[in-house]
Chain A
Amino acid sequence: MTEPLVKVDGISKKFCRNLKRSLWYGVKDLGNELVGRRHGGNGKLRRDEFWAVKDVQFEVMPGECIGLIGHNGAGKTTLLRMLNGLIKPDSGRIEMRGRVGALIALGAGFNPVLTGRENIYISAAVHGLTKKQTDAKIDDIVEFAELGEFIDAPVQSYSSGMAVRLGFAVAVNTEPDILLLDEVLAVGDMAFQTKCLNAIAEFRRRGTAFILVSHNMHSISRYADQVLYLEKGHIAHIGDSLQGVERYLADMHQADRGVESGLTDWSLVHGSGKVVFTRARFRNASGDQVTAIETGEPVTLEIDYERYVELDEPPVLDVGIRDREGIVYQGTSESGGMSLGKLSRKGCFRVNFEELPLNSDYVDFAFAALDRSTNEVMDWKRHVRLWINRRGAQLGRIRLHVTWSVHASEVELSSEQPS
């Protein structure tokens, strides 16, 4: 019979918003602790307190990975700190079976003046390894960290990536039964990340239980067997990881749409104002006005303009598409934008995208009217947002059309499947 390695039963934790009061509560809690009273008092909130984590329960079996997701301040880190025994729960019970490793503060406890090798011994001791055990593992650790001759240089000469690598190398070699990971898969270069992931996969084979905190839904949906979605300290979802991720993305979407209206200020003119954009909208294939499309659908961007002075030369229209992180998807179709011929006093530009295979939550359009020869900007508007309804929790920024096939070296079998 396998027992869960982690058993969390209805734990709660309260925090205080006000620092002065928080410290005073600290003194009181200390007094209560010293007379043997239970932590957390009568289970009620004191003034200025709130529940950072409330009635959370879950279990993690050997070899299983639970993903912990939620917005900033949802209580993920607080939960991890309780699991790690750093702080006491105000109610409930936590059972951790076996040795707990925490990849939370990689490189915490490193001394910048000492060399990498010296710091390995300290860090290993902090993680509970004796000198003898460390001696036996030092070569593995040094090799894993891939620091070359830098291992004997002081850590203050390391780049941040190198310090993290060293921290990870030590933590991985402590062989925990339960591993707490907080946003650590996002560090290091690609090669090192792959190595870390392989190390983690190896741990899972050996039956280590994982608790993974990440904002990267890619990592979560790839590694987590179940997802715990925390919202303001409460459980918003527990169970199937794909559902959890979708729910989280949908909620984020919802929160974002609220601010959409104030994105573009149409009353401001950024430029000489010879031509001014007054409004813009999106239309789908059948010409209906829309604010969102499905991945891969065609869409038309319609921009109203007014021309205030006679122009010698027709202006050019420059359109750019960026996503949330500011990655440019497309600048302009032609260098410097499309010339649109002679403009009437008032009208609209239509930019038709035959397909938009985008897979982000949204993209922002920006467009400018320019004078081709002088590059004079007449008007420039940004943040015209188009929402993308992603089908499922597909990953990546764009969706490519792919066909998959396998070819044996001796031509005897072949299968083809459209994606």
Chain B
Amino acid sequence: MSGSFITVYTPDSSLASPLRMVRMMFRDLAASRSLGWRLAVRELSAQYRQSLFGFLWALIIPLANTVVWIFLSRSGIVRVADTGLPYPVYVFVGTMLWGIFMDALNAPLQITTVAKPMLAKINFPRESLVLAGIYQTLFSAAIKVALIFAALVLMGIRPGWILLLFPFGILSLILVGTTIGLLLTPLGILYTDVGRAMPLLAQFLMYTTPVVFPMPKSGWAAVLFQCNPLTPLILAARDWIMGLPNTCLGYFLAVNLATVALLLIVWAVYRLAMPILIERMSA
């Protein structure tokens, strides 16, 4: 019998013994790797087994978005300042990158909501849900990146060696998206209002980030864009894939470091919140 380890449940907050909690967090994370992978594979294969267009859905939305913005700028409805790149390329790459961020942002709440029946009945490492979300986001990101490359080749753009930095751009988009998404998850499980407000928040964020039009040069809009921590992420990723030198590397690194710290906190909150959330779910 392996009955040597004892699990104790008491009303005490795990924060009372923080060292033990951190140890448990990483132990559960390690235990979550294979389950997270399985859950992600399950989700993806189920998703595409019951769909005609399958993986194409990862592209259709950013593509549609690109077409809309090209139409808006060509028809003169929206006047877009000079982006330094052919506008279709700028918009296309921008929306693709933004799509990756959005996937990461939505994943934690979405996956946790779907897993409610399982959470309410089975005790498994909760970290696996977060990991599953990250794996799924990585998968759809890979498709998007492949498409960006295909487009670049078609347009005759050759990025050069700086392209090697591009994966970091993608990873930090996923890192920041996951952290914000995970931050909203505990409240979002209790109140559906959070899930409903998310697209609104996302839209606001998108228009204050240089996704479909370039950074404003002056005025309060420029300040707003500068303050948005997503700005350096999108700029860096796009610059790198285009083979352009990046101008905001310091800001990019600062955002990433801050996010890693925030992620640790948000992760702990997620863990602590789970039993309380499950208590309020129907069994």
The docked-state distance in angstroms from the alpha carbon of A77 to that of B121 is: 10
Assess whether A96 is in contact with B38, with CB atoms less than 8 Å apart: no
A108 in contact with B50 (CB, 8 Å): no
> Contacts of A36 on B, CB cut-off 8 Å?
13, 15-16
Interchain CB contact (< 8 A) of A33 among B8, B118, B122, B273: B273
Interface-facing stretch out of B153-161, B186-194, B233-241 = B186-194
Let me know if B124 is at the binding interface, CB within 8 A.
Answer: yes
Q: B1 touching A207 by the CB < 8 A rule?
A: yes
Q: Is the CB of A91 within 8 A of B11?
A: yes
Contact of A34 (CB < 8 Å), options: B3, B15, B50, B124: B15
**Mask for A1-43, Cβ within 8 A of B = 1, else 0?**
0000100000000010000001100110110111111111000
B279 is an interface residue with CB less than 8 A from chain A: yes
Measured between beta carbons, the chain A residues less than 8 angstroms from B206 are none
In the bound complex, do residue B10 and residue A109 qualify as a contact, i.e. CB atoms below 8 Å apart?
A: no
**What A residues does B50 contact at CB under 8 A?**
113
Asked if B7 contacts A34 (CB within 8 A), the reply is: no
How many Å lie between the Cα of A390 and that of B238 in the bound state?
81
Q: 0/1 per residue, B115-154, Cβ < 8 Å to A?
A: 0011111111000000000000000000000000000000
User: A38 touches which one: B13, B45, B187, B190 (CB < 8 A)?
Assistant: B13
Nearest to B15 among chain A residues (CB) is A36
Q: Indicate if the CB atoms of B123 and A99 lie closer than 8 Å.
A: no
For B49, the chain A residues whose CB sits under 8 A away are 113-114
User: What band does the interface of chain B fall in when counting residues whose beta carbon is under 8 Å from A?
Assistant: 35 or more
What CA separation (Å) do A131 and B34 show in the bound complex?
A: 8
Given that A98-B4, A122-B42 are known contacts, is A93 also in contact with B123, CB under 8 Å in the complex? no
B124 contacts A126, CB within 8 Å? yes
Question: Looking at chain B's contact residues, is the secondary structure mostly helix, strand, loop, or mixed?
Answer: helix
| Contact residue among B9, B34, B276 (Cβ-Cβ distance under 8 Å from A30) | B276
In the complex, whether B12 has a CB less than 8 A from a CB of chain A is: yes
Contact A125 B35 (CB under 8 A): yes
Q: Which of B46-83 contact A (CB under 8 A)?
A: 46, 49-50
| Complex contact B11–A77 (CB within 8 A) | no
Interface size on A, residues (CB 8 A): 58
Taking the complex as formed, is A383 at the interface, i.e. its CB lies under 8 A from any CB of chain B?
no
**Bound CA span A37–B16, Å:** 8
Measured between C-beta atoms, what is the minimum distance from B92 to chain A in Å? 32
Bound-complex Cα distance A177 to B3 (A): 6
In the complex, what distance in Å separates the CA atom of A93 from the CA atom of B283? Answer: 22
Q: How far is the CA of A89 from the CA of B276 in the complex (A)?
A: 10
Cβ-defined contact, A23 with B280, below 8 A: yes
Given the contacts A36-B13, A84-B123, A102-B123, A128 and B2 also touching, CB distance less than 8 Å? no
Q: Which of A85, A100, A130 contacts B34 (CB 8 A)?
A: A130
Q: A121 CA to B45 CA in the complex, in Å? A: 14
Which 10 A-B residue pairings sit nearest by Cβ, starting from the closest? A98-B3, A105-B121, A36-B15, A39-B11, A94-B9, A113-B46, A125-B35, A26-B280, A87-B279, A177-B3
Q: Would you mind naming 29 contact pairs between A and B with Cβ atoms under 8 Å apart? A: A26-B190, A26-B279, A33-B13, A34-B15, A38-B11, A39-B11, A39-B13, A39-B276, A62-B1, A86-B119, A86-B275, A86-B278, A88-B11, A92-B10, A93-B9, A100-B123, A102-B123, A104-B121, A109-B118, A109-B122, A111-B42, A114-B42, A114-B45, A114-B46, A122-B39, A127-B124, A206-B1, A207-B1, A207-B3
Taking A96-B6, A113-B45, A131-B34 as known contacts, 8 extra A-B pairs with beta carbons closer than 8 A to each other, sorted by chain A number, are A26-B277, A30-B273, A34-B272, A36-B16, A86-B278, A88-B9, A97-B4, A128-B124
